[in-house]
Amino acid sequence: MTNHTALKDWVAKTAELCQPDKIVWCDGSKDEYQRMLQIMVDSGSAQWLSPERKPNSILVRSDPADVARVEDRTFICSNYEADAGPTNHWKDPEEMHEILRPLFRNCMRGRTMYIIPFSMGPVGSPIAHIGVEISDSPYVVANMHIMTRVGSKVLEVLGDDGEFVPCIHSVGKPLAFGEKDVPWPCNADNKYITHFPETKEIWSYGSGYGGNALLGKKCFALRIASVMAKEQGWMAEHMLILKLTSPQGVVKHIAAAFPSACGKTNLAMLTPTLPGWKVETVGDDIAWMKFKEDGYLYAINPENGFFGVAPGTNTKTNPNAMAALSKNSIFTNVGKTPDGDVWWEDIDRPAPDLLIDWHGKEWVHYDSVNKAAHPNARFTAPASQCPVIADNWEDPAGVKIDAILFGGRRSTGQPLALQSFSWEHGTFLGSTMASQKTAAAAGKVGELRFDPMAMLPFCGYNMADYFQHWLDMGATGGDKMPRIFYVNWFRRAEDGHWLWPGFGENSRVLKWVCERCDGAGDVVETPIGLLPTNDAIDTTGLDIPEDDMAELLRVDVDEWKQKIPLFREHYAKFGDKLPSELTKQLDSLEERLN
């Protein structure tokens, strides 16, 4: 097991509080993974899929009241409210512990308490960090096996006194003696996803789903890690990492931040349409970046798998994701076909007769309201199963990041691509990032929501301090920092047609980014940044009208002028904590537009 005294004490204290029937230390073995699946199947929580269709894979249906991250139940419990900032829900740490203690008392009665030591990043990498999750959910154990590196090898690296982030999770449904469990235990009316940035602890109660329960992901790798990164001089970002190779063999690594539901997984696994270009995946959701002795920023993907949205994933939009999920995967809230396969909206084939929906009921008909799969239905698949996983994706030294892309879903105004004038201007672009709301998020579809650096739900401290951290990183890295770009695949013409085909054609923009990193690629200076000239993006073989291309790269000065008050209003939320550099950047933009 372990001789780590602090870890053993913490486990004993937690067991005393939660009163589980049994304690199991996870070793991360294949046998253990299989045991978890069988436990879920035997208890009625999961069912095996057909070994022919989806070998060694299970289907799980959650409680309909537990289907997604719950931002309104997510708290940053810093000592001072100002340190959580205006974009987070804050609670005093003592007050939160007063709420949590009675909820956690005896909460694991009738259940097994699993101790899951996990590494975020390749075990032993200088960029990686260790966490230990205590959970009463076998679904969490199995998912953590795929999404992180679990087990004895992590305890070895931890040694007798290594640092770890303690993560406590309970579904919040103790069982009375002899009480039969429900298929998806949770406590729908009492969810708390809480983070303690000063003590670097995570406590999660009441939900068994995704980001609420797999605490290595959003809770640790983004909210707590963003605090650690600020304190220690590195970056924890909501970014994919891809490896781009030109026909001449020039390799660039690109990190990209897009809000949820803007195609990050698709971009990370893109199949280029440009002959000779290759995209390989390092990660699809999170990047941890640290300086190396050479002064450059190197990134790892702290995760080990993909927790991807199923609906909309198909062999056209993302053949590599389809291959990754073809076996050894966990499917949550998707439909099930009579031959034991999975089905979701916009998968490659029409819905068969006798399809079972995510509620476990026979699906009667296809309409836009009654979906067979929940819109946030997920697949959990090992990254190693992705056909285009990069050969260096587990390099403990990380990959040198050459470029950072920001992007969102914007039907008007924002051009196809632009490069920032400088790191500071790039930070300004990230801080004013906005995206149109999709049907998946609360609020009016199409409404613009500011989502700085795609970190709005994930920054574990005051976002104004986070902006300052970006500026500080730039000051440290100087010329060696990645070049920053802003892209937008989602422009529509006035008549509503898409101006840019997207998907594999986005490789054309990546080619220009690659050229710009080497000081080539044509640009024109505009008030909002350095735009590609009309022929700088390689459109060879692409049937795109010249007018559409011109529109994609047009800067509508009047439209941009109208955005200035919105930017000021967005910045005003941060009061005098907003770095003066960003106000300066906004003033300069306004001047350039006038």
Cα distance between residue 350 and residue 40, in whole Å: 30
Active site residues: 262
Reduced to 3 states (helix: H, G, I; strand: E, B; else coil), residue 309 is strand
Does position 285 bind Mn ion by CB under 5 A? yes
Among Mn ion, ligand O2Y, none, what binds residue 110 when CB lies within 5 to 8 Å by partner kind? none
Cα distance between residue 266 and residue 273, in whole Å: 14
Pair 118, 216: CB distance under 8 Å: yes
Applying CB under 6 A, which of residues 143, 194, 260, 488 lies at the interface with ligand O2Y?
A: 260
Q: What are the helix (H) ranges across 168-291?
A: 210-213, 225-232, 264-268
Q: From residue 362 to residue 391, what is the string marking binding to ligand O2Y with x (rule CB under 6 A)?
A: --------------x---------------
Does position 215 bind ligand O2Y by CB under 6 A? no
Residues 118, 122, 126: CA angle, nearest 5 degrees? 105
**Stretch of residues binding ligand O2Y (CB under 6 A), selected from 128-136, 207-215, 488-496, 520-528:** 207-215
Nearer to ligand O2Y, 157 or 261 (CB): 261
Does position 211 bind ligand O2Y by CB under 6 A? yes
**Stretch of residues binding ligand O2Y (CB under 6 A), selected from 206-214, 354-362, 367-375, 546-554:** 206-214
Does position 345 bind Mn ion by CB under 5 A? no
Report the 10 Å Cβ neighbour count for 237: 29
**Strands 46-48 and 22-25: what pairing?**
unpaired
Among Mn ion, ligand O2Y, none, what binds residue 210 when CB lies within 5 to 8 Å by partner kind? ligand O2Y
Among Mn ion, ligand O2Y, none, what binds residue 28 when CB lies within 5 to 8 Å by partner kind? none
**Stretch of residues binding Mn ion (CB under 5 A), selected from 82-90, 163-171, 277-285, 573-581:** 277-285
Nearer to ligand O2Y, 70 or 557 (CB): 70
Cα distance between residue 29 and residue 145, in whole Å: 9
Residues 299-318, interacting with ligand O2Y (CB under 6 A): 307
Measure the CA dihedral 80/81/82/83, to 10°. 60
Does position 209 bind ligand O2Y by CB under 6 A? yes
Pair 40, 138: CB distance under 8 Å: yes
Of 165, 161, 169, 170, which Cα lies nearest the Cα of 117? 165
- B/e letters for 356-380, b = 16+ CB within 10 Å, e = fewer, are bbbeeeebeeeeeeebbbbbbbbbb
Which residue sits closest to ligand O2Y, CB atoms considered?
A: 210
Applying CB under 6 A, which of residues 285, 402, 465, 515 lies at the interface with ligand O2Y?
A: 285
Extract the tokens encoding 498.
Answer: 């898409």
Cα distance between residue 420 and residue 332, in whole Å: 40
Among ligand O2Y, Mn ion, none, what binds residue 320 when CB lies within 5 to 8 Å by partner kind? none
Of 47, 59, 206, 216, which Cα lies nearest the Cα of 137? 206
CB of 96 to ligand O2Y, least distance (A): 21
Among Mn ion, ligand O2Y, none, what binds residue 376 when CB lies within 5 to 8 Å by partner kind? ligand O2Y
Among ligand O2Y, Mn ion, none, what binds residue 211 when CB lies within 5 to 8 Å by partner kind? ligand O2Y
Residues 38-97, interacting with ligand O2Y (CB under 6 A): 68-69
Residues 509-538, interacting with ligand O2Y (CB under 6 A): none
Q: Which residues bind Mn ion (CB under 5 A)?
A: 285
Q: Which residues bind ligand O2Y (CB under 6 A)?
A: 68-69, 209-211, 260, 285, 307, 376
